[in-house]
């Protein structure tokens, strides 16, 4: 089999092509932004005295830190040298309680599309290691992140339910889903 010099040169250095590596480094910034956004929502609910929603958003934020760590581990393992990217400040106004849930869902939809873009780049480069790794980690994770974000937005938007009850329903469901996920892994 004839392997191009370009492939040999690239893989002597690292296992991920420059374009895909660049997208992965940018994704570090997006995941850290998501962490900061969810911490901002946690603060919003802490100030409102809705402690269970504060706890819920701290949980979501911690997941974002984990997603960022997955990417860093993958880049390290593939011998990609990089510097930590800038993270945009959180400036979006929060209109009301329900708005945090709408913003969360929209952010997760955007995150899924950013990850699909990295999948496409890995596919284009015939980088099946990164392609598979993405399916097992970030792609799979986004299925869950979007699902729970849609579900909790519906609960948050219910007009005839008080916020203490909504907070309790959301946190209880989230914690049991996280525990079930932990058992699988
Ligand atoms: Fe994430
Ligand atoms: Fe998750």
Domain boundaries, the chain: 14-87+96-168
Query: Could you tell me the distance, in angstroms and rounded to a whole number, from the CA of residue 83 to the centre of ligand 2?
Result: 26
Say if residue 185's pLDDT is above 70.
no
Residue 44 Cα, ligand 1 centroid: separation in angstroms?
Answer: 20
Cα 46 versus chain centre, distance: 23
Q: How far is the CA of 13 from the centre of ligand 1 (A)?
A: 28
pLDDT score of 40: 98
Tell me how crowded residue 39 is: count the other CB atoms within 10 A of its CB.
19
Q: What separation in Å is there between the alpha carbon of 144 and the centre of ligand 2?
A: 6
Question: How many beta carbons lie within 10 A of that of residue 77, not counting itself?
Answer: 13
- Please give the structure tokens belonging to residue 177: 């889903």
**DSSP letter assigned to residue 104:** H
Nearest by Cα to 134 from 67, 41, 64? 67
pLDDT digits (tens, 9 = 90+) for 106-128: 999 999 999 999 999 999 999 99
Around ion ligand 1, which residues have CB less than 5 A away?
Answer: 31, 64, 67
Helical residues (DSSP H) of 49-162, grouped into ranges: 51-77, 97-124, 128-134, 140-156
Kind plus residue range of the DSSP H or E element containing 126: none
Q: What percent of the chain has pLDDT over 90?
A: 90
pTM: 0.95
CATH architecture of 14-87+96-168: Up-down Bundle (1.20)
Q: Is the pLDDT of residue 184 over 80?
A: no
């Amino acid at each position: 089999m004839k392997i191009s010099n370009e492939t040999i040169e690239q893989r002597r250095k690292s296992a991920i092509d420059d374009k895909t590596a660049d997208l992965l480094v940018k994704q570090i910034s997006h995941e850290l932004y998501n962490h900061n956004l969810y911490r901002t929502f946690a603060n919003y609910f802490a100030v409102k005295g809705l402690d269970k929603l504060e706890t819920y958003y701290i949980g979501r934020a911690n997941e974002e830190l984990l997603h960022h760590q997955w990417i860093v581990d993958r880049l390290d393992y593939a011998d990609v040298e990089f510097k930590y990217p800038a993270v945009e400040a959180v400036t979006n106004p929060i209109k009301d309680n329900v708005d945090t849930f709408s913003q969360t869902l929209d952010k997760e939809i955007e995150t899924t599309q950013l990850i699909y873009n990295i999948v496409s780049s890995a596919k284009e480069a015939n980088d099946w290691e990164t392609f598979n790794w993405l399916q097992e980690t970030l792609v799979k994770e986004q299925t869950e992140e979007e699902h729970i974000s849609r579900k909790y937005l519906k609960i948050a938007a219910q007009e005839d339910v008080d916020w203490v009850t909504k907070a309790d329903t959301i946190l209880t469901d989230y914690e049991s889903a996280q525990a079930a996920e932990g058992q699988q892994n």
